[in-house]
Amino acid sequence: MKILVLSSGGVDSTTCLALAVKEAGPENVFSLSIYYGQKHDKELEAARAVAAYYGVAHQELDLAVIFADSNCSLLKQSSEEIPKESYARQLSGTEGTVSTYVPFRNGLFLSCAASVALSRGCEKILYGAHADDAAGAAYPDCSVQFVEAMNRAITEGTGNQLRLEAPFVSVSKAEVVRTGLALKVPYELTWSCYEGGKTPCCRCGTCIDRIEAFRANGVEDPLLKEV
Amino acid sequence: MKILVLSSGGVDSTTCLALAVKEAGPENVFSLSIYYGQKHDKELEAARAVAAYYGVAHQELDLAVIFADSNCSLLKQSSEEIPKESYARQLSGTEGTVSTYVPFRNGLFLSCAASVALSRGCEKILYGAHADDAAGAAYPDCSVQFVEAMNRAITEGTGNQLRLEAPFVSVSKAEVVRTGLALKVPYELTWSCYEGGKTPCCRCGTCIDRIEAFRANGVEDPLLKEV
């Protein structure tokens, strides 16, 4: 069994990578990371470090041109600031997605992953979506419904050669961290903060989520020990 | 209503473009074409000519790097020859897809189309899949099941901002041509042949399909008048 893991260098996909290595061995795992014009392209360095730690083959793709016309606040060309509050607060009283939603980003990334996975003889893609990201429609491309539809599109569109699994799609980020701590995931190598500064800003949506996920497990985020 | 049409420069997507222009007017239609390392990149010139004919905005993306590890016979790097027979004959006695199936290509293209469409405020993507391409599992990413799943992934993953339509997914290529002839589609500007030579080879799977589709309508393919 060969497995491709869509890796952002963050907590969730790194935990997926640990699961894949445990299941198939590092020689049968491929890590794929994508640059899409994100301000925090520092996460790509984290994805590289994590792949090196696990000894798995790593590939990067540059798809920034696809988002050239988007004004999503996560992108370098955007004039919008990245909000400094939780997703729940950002969504309060509004309809639709948060300003850091990149248009159909995860659908695009999973499709890329499917094309690459098939070329490399993989039978499975692992995707680190979890329930907190989908909550309140913050990121609709992290929902159970989306994952189910995308899995069906991938199995149908490849003639049943490949399938998609999102092991954390129904659980919280705290549960992801709990799984990862048991697997001794090197979270000190990962990166989440949207700002991409020297240290995490601790105020953007993903920082808030990450801090709470570690706190719920009674441990300190190793990245914050250095702050 | 703004519409994005995934345009290959061939018969099916050009007919979709004609439908979109009829529905929304050329100022509300966007054409998107993708280079993916195909031997017949001549089709991109056709897509440009068709977009210019209809006066719609046209964009091209280069995604060849995603298929760098594929040995699909349609790709420039492949050592395999493009088969010189119909899809039905290629599939006879075998399981799975034809050698010109590019790994999850149409899923990837539709995901790109979704990202671009959302950035440009489109509500709909038109996709020219038809029943002959899906027949016998030649191209599983042209099937009704795939289109339904992909539509669901796009609507779910974009928070219902966008949907996918494949108006010809249940009809033959002959029916596509019948629709296009009624709309006076400039088929002389289109290109289908996988070989990408000066004139159509008339022997590859897509040439055979195209010739039969025009013949079934009692007209000659305008491209063949010049051969």
Task: Write the pLDDT tens digit of every residue in B120-172.
Answer: 999 999 999 999 888 777 889 999 999 999 999 999 999 999 999 999 999 99
Q: Give the CATH number of the domain where residue A193 resides.
A: 3.40.50.620
Contact criterion met (CB below 8 Å) for A42 and A35? no
Decide if B115 touches A, using CB distance below 8 A.
yes
Interface mutation target, options B115, B144, B161, chain A, most CBs of A under 10 Å: B115
Contact list in A for residue B108 (CB cut-off 8 A) is 108, 111-112, 114-115
Question: What gap in Å lies between CA A146 and CA A140, rounded to an integer?
Answer: 7
Determine the pLDDT at residue B227.
Answer: 55
Determine the pLDDT at residue A93.
Answer: 61
Determine the pLDDT at residue B79.
Answer: 84
**Nearest residue of A to residue B64 by CA position?**
A61
Determine the pLDDT at residue B152.
Answer: 97
Contact criterion met (CB below 8 Å) for A176 and A190? no
A156 → closest Cβ in B102, B146, B162: B146
Contact criterion met (CB below 8 Å) for B54 and B17? yes
Interface mutation target, options B156, B161, B163, B169, chain A, most CBs of A under 10 Å: B156
DSSP letters spanning A125-186: EE----HHHHGGGS-GGGSHHHHHHHHHHHHHHTTTS-EEE-TTTTS-HHHHHHHHHHTT--
What is the β-pairing status of strands B124-126 and A124-126? unpaired
Contact criterion met (CB below 8 Å) for A126 and A19? yes
Which tens digit of pLDDT belongs to each residue from B184-193? 999 999 999 9
Contact list in B for residue A153 (CB cut-off 8 A) is 107, 146, 149-150, 152-153
Determine the pLDDT at residue B94.
Answer: 62
Decide if B104 touches A, using CB distance below 8 A.
yes
A114 → closest Cβ in B68, B107, B120: B107
Q: A154 and B97: CB-CB below 8 Å?
A: no
Q: List Cα–Cα distances, A54 to A45, A94, A96, B80, B175, in angstroms.
A: 14, 42, 38, 35, 53
Contact list in A for residue B115 (CB cut-off 8 A) is 66-67, 70, 102-105, 107-108
Out of A3-7, A223-227, B44-48, pick the least confident: A223-227
Q: List Cα–Cα distances, A121 to A46, B18, B101, in angstroms.
A: 26, 39, 15
Determine the pLDDT at residue B149.
Answer: 97
Q: A111 and B115: CB-CB below 8 Å?
A: no
In chain B, which residues have pLDDT < 70?
A: 93-95, 226-227
Using 50, 70 and 90 to split pLDDT, how confident is the model at A130?
very high
* Residue A227 scores a pLDDT above 90: no
Determine the pLDDT at residue B196.
Answer: 87
Contact criterion met (CB below 8 Å) for A131 and A174? no
For chain A, what percent of residues have pLDDT higher than 70? 98
Closest CA to A165 of A124, A197, A110: A124
* Domains in chain B, number: 1
B153 → closest Cβ in A66, A68, A146: A146
Q: B118 and A107: CB-CB below 8 Å?
A: no
Helix axis angle, B105-119 to A144-157, nearest 10°: 140
A107-143: string of b/e by CB count within 10 Å (b at 16+)? bbbbbbbbbbbbbbebbbbbbbbbbbbbbebbbbbbb
Q: B119 and A70: CB-CB below 8 Å?
A: yes
Question: What gap in Å lies between CA A112 and CA A118, rounded to an integer?
Answer: 10
Residue A25 belongs to what H/E stretch?
A: none
Contact list in B for residue A169 (CB cut-off 8 A) is none
* Residue A169 scores a pLDDT above 60: yes
* Residue A41 scores a pLDDT above 60: yes
Decide if B158 touches A, using CB distance below 8 A.
yes
- State how far Cα B161 lies from the chain centre: 24
Q: Which domain holds residue B133?
A: 3-226
Determine the pLDDT at residue B226.
Answer: 59
Interface mutation target, options A6, A72, A115, chain B, most CBs of B under 10 Å: A115
State pTM to two decimals.
0.93
Question: What gap in Å lies between CA B18 and CA B201, rounded to an integer?
Answer: 26
The amino acid that residue A36 corresponds to is Y
Check residues A153 and B98 and name the one with the higher pLDDT: A153
Q: Complex ipTM, two decimals?
A: 0.92
Determine the pLDDT at residue B65.
Answer: 92
Determine the pLDDT at residue A226.
Answer: 59
**Nearest residue of A to residue B33 by CA position?**
A66
Which tens digit of pLDDT belongs to each residue from A48-104? 999 999 999 999 999 999 998 888 888 988 888 888 888 877 877 666 788 889 999
Q: What is the mean pLDDT of residues A132-148?
A: 88
* Residue A2 scores a pLDDT above 70: yes
**Nearest residue of B to residue A119 by CA position?**
B70
